[in-house]
Chains A and B, each alone.
Chain A
């Protein structure tokens, strides 16, 4: 074996080795970074269809990406479930360290039936102060949305966000089910 002959590898060989090593490093770094990111951030939707409560009103077609632009922070709607600190001081008393929870969707924590016997019993057992007074899913949507809309001049009418269904018209005696104005009688 001639050691002097091995010392003289071509430039192309050296460059190829460096490139391989760089790609490996990048891939490794990327993997680490991706692992560190919260899972949901990977799936931030642009539009959400909110349908679980649709009965008297159509499902809401919610423009998520627009709201991301106008909102202060993720926590103004998602509380602290997206890893950003809580803005509300009452919540912040317990939730001071931002930490992600399993899901950012409202339905993950807010019950569809907040006053069923099971939910009431669960609330009775729950000694976490503010969670006893946790609104149900429908109220969570409305209180959150309407609160901000009223302050920032967004839509506040019922049908501005979701039109009524046929069943809704029947319930409200509106639209096709509106009473005949001529039939509005005097009271005796």
Chain B
């Protein structure tokens, strides 16, 4: 046989394989620790300033061409509306952002605006099997309705229960959520419509890294005014939209049990097992088969009863 000997071939393959694995593993250490693009934008939502005027809801409705609401945007009776099981209003196919009123103990009512938080490692993006979501460099998590199949796994995955589905559409139902006004504003360096409309500047638009510093400065400058926590700085791997509040976050409808790991961390262990099974099962079960098969041709079935216990591996 011309060329390299089998021994040298094997040695070379092993060396190459080892080299590849080592380089790959170096990259793997960094995986899952994405802190957002360096120039990623964000929004700091200061709930001590919100007065519940709902100008943001009105501005979003206009900017995103959403249908007219059931009640005018200056109607405060919506704060008393409850849905299933006493739930307050949530985002749906006609409202990408909602303001709700909360009454924490012994305090003035607090108003909370919520919308997609544009996470650094979005759960919706990682759960989508047609890659319909993209985290843009500007920080927005946007959605491509042209490939969406409508499996609604993203709605299951979002820890903030944000994405909504246009169930009422028969032939083109799609996910509806805040897109950070990407198509009309963020792409051109402009702040989203809700930020611009807010009379109290509840929302401060800027680079995410800057906003964390600003938030820390605000807390330091007025310690009695704020709870010492920036919600979204670390929750589920960090979100683009972060919150400051004057009352504890769990009294304002925030989920404070989310932890710091992005949702994908829960799934990574299983995903890592997949190639293991793909590699091990063929040899394992072919091996069982070869062991179970007897070499004689006498015709009788010689398989022992022990094989039965193996049947439920």
Contacts and interface: CB of A to CB of B under 8 A. Distances in A.
Interface residues of A, number: 33
B221 A143 contact: no
A1 interface: no
Contact of A171 (B73, B189, B201): B73
Which secondary structure dominates chain A's binding surface?
helix
A158 B70 contact: no
A62 interface: no
Given A130-B221, A143-B49, A172 B199 contact: no
Interface stretch (B139-147, B190-198, B260-268, B284-292): B190-198
Nearest to B49: A143
B74 A136 contact: no
Given A171-B62, A173-B58, A139 B72 contact: no
Contacts of B51: 146, 156
Interface string A104-135: 00000000001111001001100001101101
Contacts of B190: 115-117
A179 interface: yes
Contacts, number: 85
Interface size class of B (residues with CB under 8 A): 35 or more
| Dominant secondary structure of chain B at its interface with chain A | loop
Contacts of A132: 210, 214, 217
Contacts of B195: 115
A178 interface: yes
B97 interface: no
Interface of A: 90, 114-117, 120, 123-124, 129-130, 132-133, 135-136, 138-139, 141-143, 146, 156, 158, 171-175, 177-179, 184-185, 188
